[in-house]
Structure 1
Amino acid sequence: MNHLSVEKVLERINQTEGFDELRSIRDQVHEMFQEHLLLSYSPELQEQINDIHDGLIKHAIFLSEKQMVGHGWGLPPVPYAFMLFGSGGRKEQTLWSDQDNGCIFADPVLKEDRLRIEEYFEKLSSYILNGLDMLGYPPCQGEVVSSNKQWRKPYSEYESMMLEWLQEPVWENVRYVLIMVDMRCVYGEASLIAGLKKQLFEYVRQHPAILQALLSNTLHHPISLGFFGQLITERYGEDAGGFDIKYGAYIPIVNGVRLLAIQAGVWESSTLERLDHLITGGRITIEAGHEWIDAFHIALKLRNRTPSQIEDGLYTTRGKLVAGQLTKELRQELKACLRAGAFLQKYVRKVVEEQIGKK
């Protein structure tokens, strides 16, 4: 799919007037991308997939705002931003990524307006998530979605919640902090999200000891490579003999690069942008950086090859390569990716522990 055709698809998306028509476009585009992915994968194709996802989500929000007006709720009463977390926040979605999102809005000027404003964004979020469901995006199993009040708050409450997590870095709180590091504005007032990121990175800069808690969470998913260099495959169930590309390769690389970015004060949310800044800033060597970039591309390519299906109208995948896909050539490529990922995890542990030890 060339650049011009993506522009035409985005133009079609922005001209649609309802979710049924928008779903039809997604289905058509999904089929076209799948055909391209069967032939070859490229970083440019991955970027195009995410451009289409962004276009679909943005227009779903626009249509939801129109529904709010049509049902008597009016326009948004204060500035707000709809943000993506996870692979959406990092601009690394596959064709079948789920919903990981939140809603942040400006604090009301008058306290008596607070309840009305909160009701407005609760309703708007319900319209948005219903629209995304109609488009085939399954909700996040961990309930990191704007229908969950934890992820739908005014700015001051988001700020307080984030600081509480940072000041009490137990496992679950650290998990939430790392989720927020990947947040990206897809629609609305981006300065609201930038303000939160500034606070988060400033806190880490002033309290580097928290890197120890972040490190423990970051290394929770080890690279699935055995001591003797063999792939660690699934042992039981319908995926027996297959390989968990998401949690065995992709997530460990993403997590490792993210912590290096946090340590270096790099705000960018995508893994590739983080690596680029780490290289140009002299935080990692050019050789190591490009080795991890290559490994990341392999992980993304293989994520896009995992079998998928439509269940109850939703695009889903278990994120695992099946045994029959693990050809000799693919195993060699995957092992190269995993060796680089294992080196990354060792490097992250080393540099974080060295910094903590200096304080």
Structure 2
Amino acid sequence: MTQLAELYENTMPFSLLQDKERNALFEQAEIEEFLENEYIVSAEEKDEDAHVHYFVSGVAKDIIYQANGKQVAVRYDYPGDFAGLLTLVANGDMQIAVQAAEKAKSIVFPKASFQQAMQQNAQFSQAILERVSQMMKSLYEEVKYKTSDLSDQTEPALYKKRVSSFMERPTFIHPDESVYAAAELLQTAETEGVAVSANKQDIEGMIGYRQIFDALKEGRLDAPAEQIMNKDYYFVQEHDFIYDALSFLKHHPAAVIPVLHGSRAVGFIRQSSFLSVSNSVYFELTYRIANADSIETLASLSPVHNRQFQLFIQQLIDERMYGYDIVELISSYNDRMHRQIIELSEREMVQEGYGRPKINYCFIVMGSEGRKEQGFSTDQDNGIILADYDELNYKEEIETYFERLTEKINTKLDACGFPLCTGGIMAKEKKWRHSLSQWSHTIDQWLRNLDAQEVRDFTIFIDFRPVYGDFDLAHKLREKLTHAMQHAPKLQPMLIRDTLQIRVPLQAFGRISTSSKEKHLNLKQSAMMQIVNAVRIYAVGYGIENVHTVRRLRSLLDNNYMSKSDSEMAIQALHELLLFRLKLNLQQLDAGEPLTTQISVKELDKVEKQTLKNALAAAKGMQQGLELRQNRNKVNG
């Protein structure tokens, strides 16, 4: 008997094996050590390379890769736990990685030898499969909990739409009818699921193609429907907002969702239910983004290049959707572009022999995209957060990898209508590519030595938001930044001085001051940024972490840091100014002109001019509030 086999002969589940079986299993095993943030099991691990790990010491975390580019740490593994068990049953649809959360040591078994031990010993196999079942249940609950916040996934166009507007008539089958009858009903009704109900009102369970296939494999087509139905089904109420159902369907595209009125079934929702809605254009385009396999294809789908998308935005304007909701939708669309570009860049790295990333990372966007206030075309403002890697013995390899990866990402973004930042605020630049610890140190240095030249870069950085990768890295950095800014007494006065350098061009009696004979006004510099900057300054001072300007305003109101009238006036002004910019950019795109934020005041009609004056007055009011705060600080200082 090998030394390892003897060491674990009384440890479950290895104690269930016969001496010969245990010895054969451990003969193939090796002990490996892993440093913090090192991958133990890679999401891209090929079947022939798969291993099962039994943890001897340390802690590891299980990470699920979602379709939206987000990585979620869903559970932790401790000594006595297994990693890699899911490869024994996974069908390839689920991407799971295991990463060392601290220094860890494991016994590593080849997948083949582990499967052989399971085939030879029924008790050992049952014990392992029970662990797999518990793990799957744990993963499901954690994913459900950690993805329950839809704020990053939902599209503003659907905020006010209800399930009842899209639901279809339900299809029922009696619980005593056979599985074969259910299969026929699925086919004749041309649906993906039927409800099992004795009275065509109260649902006992759901049957879809998955249940039919399982019954077919088990030879149970004659069994009653109630024996194979799924009792743990997802449902919505008819008055729920539609984005709840859409979010579920995004991850379960073959599902049919029962719609209830109280406890009574009144309809179904499925993917095809949305084919008639006006924003099916949006879903079609986002589907094409997710399936694009070249930069040329992605570039054709970019907001600045895609006529279909531009007409869709014009439709939203005509439907009187709020300007800040429209730009949030554009930003969400651009997020999808970013994610696909990053995916393509990673694939290129593999093709060129660099492989997959050896550590976790998070790609962040800043500035207007960070706030989800992006128009049709703005310069790139982005960076990257790397998991700490100083302790790893392939540090230089990691740095080279991400230097090349970020160069690819920024170049591809430029090709897709997101111009390179003239100020160099991009992930390919060393200043904007750091590990989490390095970012933390950089923030401390920034706040100690902030000068007029650096303050604008820091202002852009404040509004960062994760779009791809390990979002936990961004959340940790946000916590650090929020705490550090609240304890930096020189920060707010410097931010105020910077934003007051550009005055809102509204003179006495509401006269708009323009910068040229053509009477042009820069919407961004002269108005929008004055509101955005003022709201950011208040949010920083009160420790509000949200970076979205309207949500910051609502948080300030909810916490009694701002009056209702001031908050509503700023939100309305932002809505109007963003609409002006959207309409201007659509006109410029139609005419084949460069995109700017320079609006011609003399071409506005009377109503538009008054609307602009009201928005400028709100921006000026925000500036005056900052001046009062600055003067109070001088007196108190």
Deviations 1:298-332, CA, capped at 9 Å, x for gaps? 1111121234767xxx9952211135533222211
- 1:21 corresponds, among 280, 285, 297, to 297
* TM superposition shift of 1:83: 0.8
Cα distance 1:142–1:306, how it changes in 2: closer, same or farther (>3 A)?
farther
Cα distance 1:25–1:291, how it changes in 2: closer, same or farther (>3 A)?
same
Cα distance 1:63–1:9, how it changes in 2: closer, same or farther (>3 A)?
same
* TM superposition shift of 1:137: 1.2
Cα distance 1:209–1:100, how it changes in 2: closer, same or farther (>3 A)?
closer
Q: Which residue of 2 aligns with 1:172?
A: 453
| Paired AA for residue 299 in structure 2 | R
Residue 266, structure 1, aligned to residue 547, structure 2: no
Deviations 1:130-174, CA, capped at 9 Å, x for gaps? 211221111122111112211112222222222111001211232
Q: Which residue of 1 aligns with 2:285?
A: 9
Is contact 2:281–2:309 with CA below 8 Å preserved after alignment?
Answer: no
Cα distance 1:202–1:130, how it changes in 2: closer, same or farther (>3 A)?
same
- SS class of match (2:561): coil
| Paired AA for residue 296 in structure 1 | L
* TM superposition shift of 1:355: 6.1
Is contact 1:229–1:335 with CA below 8 Å preserved after alignment?
Answer: yes
Is contact 2:298–2:337 with CA below 8 Å preserved after alignment?
Answer: yes
Q: Which residue of 1 aligns with 2:382?
A: 101
Q: Which residue of 1 aligns with 2:27?
A: none
* TM superposition shift of 1:76: 1.1
Cα distance 1:207–1:30, how it changes in 2: closer, same or farther (>3 A)?
same
- 1:246 corresponds, among 499, 521, 524, to 524
- SS class of match (2:384): strand
Is contact 2:289–2:337 with CA below 8 Å preserved after alignment?
Answer: yes
- SS class of match (2:494): helix
Residue 126, structure 1, aligned to residue 407, structure 2: yes
Does 215-224 or 285-294 show the bigger shift?
215-224
Q: Give 4+ residue runs of structure 1 displaced > 6 Å after superposition.
A: none
* TM superposition shift of 1:114: 2.1
Query: TM-score normalized by structure 1?
Result: 0.90
Q: Which residue of 2 aligns with 1:115?
A: 396
Is contact 1:215–1:259 with CA below 8 Å preserved after alignment?
Answer: yes
- SS class of match (1:102): strand
Cα distance 1:357–1:116, how it changes in 2: closer, same or farther (>3 A)?
farther
Query: TM-score normalized by structure 2?
Result: 0.52
C-alpha separation in 2, matches of 1:22 and 1:107: 32
Q: Which residue of 1 aligns with 2:484?
A: 203
The structure that is helix-richer by fraction is: 1
* TM superposition shift of 1:202: 1.3
Is contact 2:447–2:488 with CA below 8 Å preserved after alignment?
Answer: no
Residue 293, structure 1, aligned to residue 571, structure 2: yes
Residue 348, structure 1, aligned to residue 626, structure 2: yes
| Paired AA for residue 181 in structure 1 | I
> Greater RCO between the two (CA within 8 Å, min separation 6)?
1
C-alpha separation in 2, matches of 1:4 and 1:31: 14
Residue 331, structure 1, aligned to residue 331, structure 2: no
C-alpha separation in 2, matches of 1:226 and 1:19: 48
C-alpha separation in 2, matches of 1:103 and 1:141: 18
Q: Which residue of 1 aligns with 2:464?
A: 183
Is contact 1:122–1:147 with CA below 8 Å preserved after alignment?
Answer: yes
* TM superposition shift of 1:110: 2.6
Is contact 1:90–1:184 with CA below 8 Å preserved after alignment?
Answer: yes
- SS class of match (2:583): coil
Is contact 1:166–1:174 with CA below 8 Å preserved after alignment?
Answer: no
Q: Which residue of 1 aligns with 2:250?
A: none
Cα distance 1:75–1:127, how it changes in 2: closer, same or farther (>3 A)?
same
Q: How many residues align?
A: 353
The alignment yields a C-alpha RMSD, in angstroms, of 2.3
User: For the pair shown, which has the larger CA radius of gyration, 1 or 2?
Assistant: 2
Does 295-304 or 203-212 show the bigger shift?
203-212
Cα distance 1:183–1:176, how it changes in 2: closer, same or farther (>3 A)?
same
* TM superposition shift of 1:254: 0.6
Unaligned runs of 5+ in 1: none
- 1:58 corresponds, among 331, 339, 348, to 339
Does 190-199 or 85-94 show the bigger shift?
190-199
| Paired AA for residue 281 in structure 1 | N
Unaligned runs of 5+ in 2: 1-156, 158-277
- SS class of match (2:383): strand
- 1:320 corresponds, among 595, 598, 605, to 598
Cα distance 1:122–1:108, how it changes in 2: closer, same or farther (>3 A)?
same
- SS class of match (1:317): coil
Is contact 2:282–2:312 with CA below 8 Å preserved after alignment?
Answer: no
Is contact 1:212–1:356 with CA below 8 Å preserved after alignment?
Answer: no
Identical amino acids, percent of aligned pairs: 28
Is contact 2:362–2:470 with CA below 8 Å preserved after alignment?
Answer: yes
C-alpha separation in 2, matches of 1:107 and 1:38: 45
